[in-house]
Amino acid sequence: MDDNLESTAKGEPVDPEPSPRAHHMIPVWFFVGIILLIYGLIILGTGIYEFSSPPPTVLAKLHPAIWWGALLTAIGGIYVYAYMPKKS
């Protein structure tokens, strides 16, 4: 970093290119996908279990854990697949 950063103010627009190492870093979206996939599977599993032992919550008959778990699994799966780090 410039030792005297304050002196770098200029009239011309500055538009730096991203450094090459940014391309080697695992994208944040992959981490998002991993955690949503894990959560989706856990909640989906809980939802299946709740068919035999429904929770004492309002609208439990709609089985929110099933479809919310499925949604998280789908979103997480898509993100993991799309942003999986590639071997190079």
Partner 1 sequence: MLAFFALPDLAEAGKSLILLHPVDMLIIGVYFAMVLGIGFYLRRYTRSGDDFFLAGREMTAWVAGLSFVSANLGALELMGWAAASYQYGILATHWYWIGAIPAILFLGLVLMPFYYISRTHSVPGYLQLRYGESTRGLSALSFAFMTVLMSGINMYAMALVMKVVLGWNIHFSIWVSSITVAVYVALGGLFSAIFNEVLQFFLIWLGAMLIPILGLVETGGWSGLVARIHQNFPQGDYTHLWRNMGHFAGNPMGIHWTGIVLGLGWVISFGYWNTDFLVVQRIFAAKDIRAAKMAPIIGSYFKMAVPFIVILPGLLGLALLPFRLVPESAVGVGQHSYNEVLPLMLARYCGPGLLGLGITALIAGFMSGMAGNVSAFATVWTYDLYRPFVNKRASDQHYVKMGRWCTILGVVVSIGTAYLVMHFGSIMDYVQALFSFFIAPLLGTVLLGMLWKRTTSAGGFWGLLAGSVSSITMFLLVKFNPRMLSVIALSRDAKDMAENMYRALWSWLICVIVTVVVSYCTKPKPVEQLTGLVYGCTKLPSEEHLPLWKRPIFWAGVSAVLFLILQWVFW
Contact footprint for partner 1 (CB under 8 A): 1, 3, 5-6, 8-16, 18-19, 21-22, 25-26, 28, 31-32, 34-36, 38-39, 42-43, 45-47, 50, 54-60, 62, 64-65, 68-69, 72, 75
Distances (CA, A) of 18 to 24, 30, 83: 12, 19, 18
Q: What's the CA gap between 47 and 41, in Å, rounded?
A: 10
Report, in Å, the least distance between residue 25 CB and partner 1. Answer: 6
Report, in Å, the least distance between residue 8 CB and partner 1. Answer: 5
Classify 37 as helix, strand or coil: helix
